[in-house]
């Protein structure tokens, strides 16, 4: 049954990497838009409206599909015979970091709704600090997958 996964492995891995790159680009950019939104909202409704459209489209049209594709192709890799040795630490470290990245993605989605409603209490500095989290998670994921400790 899983022979077809082994046959498709190079394609699955390629599509997984493409999805991850797309998702990470959005994860790095959306908090930066939130910084501008919180720090420059007083410059007028035109700027706020533009930022809200950018934030919404980035999340809905790019980040959400990329996150779903990352999960789908990642799980396909997990189920491909001979790829993951669950007796090692690396797949557990990667899984924990991917779950944390997914939490961060949803946290950003909630902040976008709050910004649109005018109820967000996170400052520009707070968004800058939170933007370091995906970098740390990415480091854990890449080292786990490449070094396979």
- Give me the pLDDT at residue 60, please: 97
Average pLDDT over residues 89-96: 96
pLDDT at 84 (0 to 100) = 92
pLDDT in tens, 23-57: 999 999 999 999 999 998 777 788 888 999 999 99
**Residues 58, 30: Cα–Cα separation, whole Å:** 7
Q: Distance between CA 104 and CA 118 in Å, rounded?
A: 21
SS3 (DSSP) at 119 = coil
């Amino acid at each position: 049954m899983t022979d077809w996964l082994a046959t498709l492995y190079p394609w699955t891995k390629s599509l997984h990497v493409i999805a991850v790159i797309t998702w990470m680009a959005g994860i790095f950019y959306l908090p930066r838009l939130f910084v501008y939104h919180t720090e420059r909202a007083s410059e007028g409704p035109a700027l706020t409206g533009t930022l809200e459209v950018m934030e919404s489209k980035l999340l809905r049209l790019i980040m959400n599909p990329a996150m779903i594709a990352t999960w789908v192709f990642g799980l396909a890799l997990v189920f491909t015979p001979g790829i993951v040795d669950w007796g090692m630490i690396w797949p557990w470290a990667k899984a924990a970091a991917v779950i944390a990245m997914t939490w961060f993605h949803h946290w950003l989605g909630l902040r976008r709704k709050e910004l649109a409603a005018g109820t967000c209490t996170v400052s520009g500095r707070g968004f800058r600090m939170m933007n370091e989290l995906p970098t740390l998670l990415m480091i854990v994921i890449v080292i786990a997958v490449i070094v396979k400790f």
